[in-house]
Structure 1
Amino acid sequence: MTEFNWRNRFDPLLDTLVADGLGAWAETLQAQLIRRFDDQPHGDLPRWQAALDRLPALANVSAHLDRSALTLTSPRPLTAEEQNQLEQGLRGLMPWRKGPFDFFGTHIDTEWRSDWKWDRVAPYLSNLSGRRILDVGCGSGYHCWRMFGEGAGRVIGIDPGLLFLFQFLSVKDYLGDVPVDLLPIRMEDMPADLEAFDTTFSMGVLYHRRSPLDHLLELKGTLRRGGELVLETLVVEGPEGFSLMPEDRYGQMRNVWFLPSCDTLLRWLDRTGFRNARVVDVTATTTDEQRTTDWMRFNSLQDFLDPNDPTRTVEGYPGPLRATVIAEKP
């Protein structure tokens, strides 16, 4: 089994950041990666690396990034042994939460139909062609690949979950040197006022933050002037100024802090200095979009809703309603 060599994985991106005039960020990021992988390595790194090592080596792999399931294809059929290696490797990276994916005919039915969220957001986006994009809380990077498929010049996803990193690498290792990267860091680890991105996505993060206004200010700091924010978060029905703060858990999640009404969310964006903020979609999350599958066998949305009233959570709060807002930085 090979060891996880983070320098081989991230040095090309660090070099690119330096070349793009972001050397100070590259220096900070390198120190963060040293702490994450050298000073305090996660105990499951060998297991996840072993899962990656099981994936069969295939040449001339093509990626189809405009399909609901992000699809990898090979110019030749896989042998039975390769198919078995592929299945074992991918199952070694369970649970798969964000997707779906299709690896050479092996379909990964993820917990979330992340393609549904993308289909709701995509019609309202500016042309992504050539843009430098940040995806905050990107999970396994499914949406990063969809952004690249829309012509983005460079996509950087950030998510502290190391299993998500290895799921992302299971795709990238087949595609080689493409300008899509996933950094295992938090939003708080990003330099303040970086002003480096044309578009920043934050989808499914805001309600996990104790201070949602600080999160909005952090997001604004990542954007160049005139850059675009794409924000998706849980909301509740109510007037301007109304926001739900759960007593303890929401849908069995402990780290849910504020669920604003749409009008309150727009006020937050206005108060934090964004302009032209508009709600482009409001959709209730259903058990068709988030559910237990063979690739994610733990509890999912059906277990978090009131069995006698699926419009409410088990705690009695309104069921999950998600709004997408787009705004610009002046």
Structure 2
Amino acid sequence: MKQNKYDELGFFEKYSEMPRSMGGLSAAGEWPVLRTMLPTLQGKRVLDLGCGYGWHCKYAREQGAESVVGVDISEKMLAYASANNNDTGIEYRRLAIEDIDFAAGEFDVVVSSLALHYVEQFEAVCRQVQHCLADGGTFVLSVEHPVFTARAAQDWHYGPEGERMHWPVDDYQEEGLRVARFLDHDVVKYHRTLATYMNVLMDAGFQITKLAEPQPTQEALDQYPEMRDETRRPIFLLISAVKL
């Protein structure tokens, strides 16, 4: 199933009000770590899968990337990206991640930020990424952490006074579809274990070079106090890998 929630008016409006939507990369809690996992982008050909507002596309060009292709299934996302994060070296294409079919070795770097947990066939996408990367090319991705996606509820266990007691984890080994409540809408996500993410990448011909489960920085906590509970359990999983 190719999901396109972001073209639903109510969902897109709520997404547009999120801090990371208004503040860009500086408001993305995982960005300080994800940035360090990217290779040097000077002169590189970059593909952004699930590019959304185009923040990473713009960053790649600012770092000297020769060209950037951003793909996203959402017309509304791409309209914002084209209006606000455009550049002569960026090409935005309306395309589902599952439908990518680029030429062999067309890119040096592939990035995907918080998009692949919406994709059912992670294995197929990894094979396509491996195909379109040049030898030695880098694949950097972030997804919602398996501890976060294991239960469809994706919520805390609350005490009698409404206090957040702990984050429950259940059905971790049962991979597959979860219908989560996000921005007051039902959204389909796909839960995978940490081992699955790693093994699928290795089986597709990648060598994993770094893993990260970042916490918000102190600066982010000072600016967004509501993020303080994000230090109590991982919410993001970041992986950097190179094509063998």
Q: TM-score, normalised by structure 2?
A: 0.68
- Structure 1 counterpart of 2:122: 212
Q: Is 1:129 the counterpart of 2:42 in the alignment? A: yes
Distance 1:170 1:154 in 2: 18
The reply on whether 1:170 has 2:101 as its aligned counterpart is no
Q: Structure 1 residues 278 and 226, CA, compared in 2 at 3 Å: closer, same or farther?
A: closer
Deviant stretches of 4+, over 4 Å: 97-101, 109-112
Pick the aligned partner of 1:249 from 179, 189, 194. 179
Residue correspondence of structure 1 range 240-279 to structure 2 within 5 A: 243-245=173-175, 248-252=178-182, 253-261=186-194, 263-275=195-207, 277-279=208-210
Alpha-carbon offset, residue 155 of structure 1: 1.0
**What is the deviation of 1:258?**
2.3
CA–CA distance in structure 2, aligned partners of residues 212 and 285 of structure 1: 27
Superposed CA deviations along residues 218-238 of structure 1, whole A, max 9, x for unmatched, are 221221111110011123359
Q: Give the Cα–Cα distance (whole angstroms) in 1 for the partners of residues 216 and 17 of structure 2.
A: 15
Residue correspondence of structure 1 range 30-41 to structure 2 within 5 A? none
Instruction: Please show how residues 38-53 of structure 1 align to structure 2 within 5 Å.
Output: none
CA contact (8 A) 2:30 2:215 kept: no
Give the structure 1 partner of residue 89 of structure 2.
179
Q: Within 5 Å, which residues of 2 pair with 1:97-112? A: 108-109=22-23
1:280 has 2:194 as partner: no
Aligned letter for 1:254? V
Provide the identity percentage.
20
C-alpha change, 1:123 and 1:204, in structure 2 (3 Å) is same
The alignment's C-alpha RMSD in Å is 3.7
Report whether the alignment pairs 1:141 with 2:61. no
Q: Larger % of strand: which?
A: 2
CA displacement at 1:149 relative to structure 2: 1.2
Answer whether contact 2:177 2:189 (CA < 8 A) is retained: no
For residue 283 of structure 1, report the CA deviation from its aligned partner. 2.8
Structure 1 residue 233 corresponds to structure 2 residue 164: no
Whether contact under 8 Å (2:78, 2:94) holds in the other structure is yes
Paired residue type of 2:43: G
The equivalent residue for 2:223 is none
Q: 1:221 aligns with which of 131, 143, 150?
A: 131
Q: How many residues align?
A: 202
Q: Per-residue deviation at 1:191?
A: 1.8
- Over 3 Å counting, the alpha-carbon distance change for 1:192 and 1:156 in structure 2 is closer
Which aligned pairs between 1:34-113 and structure 2 lie closer than 5 A?
96=16, 108-109=22-23, 113=27
Residue 165 of structure 2: aligned partner? none
Deviations 1:281-319 (A, max 9, x none): 103689x98xxxxxxxxxxxx9xxxxxxx78xxxxxx97
Amino acid at match of 2:45: R
Partner amino acid for 2:243? Answer: K
Write the letter of the residue equivalent to 1:281.
Answer: A
SS of match in other structure, 2:238: strand
Corresponding residue for residue 314 of structure 1: none
DSSP 3-state at the match of 1:213: helix
- Deviation, 1:329, is 1.0
Q: TM-score, normalised by structure 1?
A: 0.52
Deviation at 1:131, TM superposition (A): 0.1
Q: Offset of 1:164 from its aligned partner?
A: 1.1
Structure 1: gaps of 5 or more residues: 1-41, 45-92, 102-107, 290-301, 303-309, 312-317
- Alignment of 1:151 with 2:71, yes or no, is no
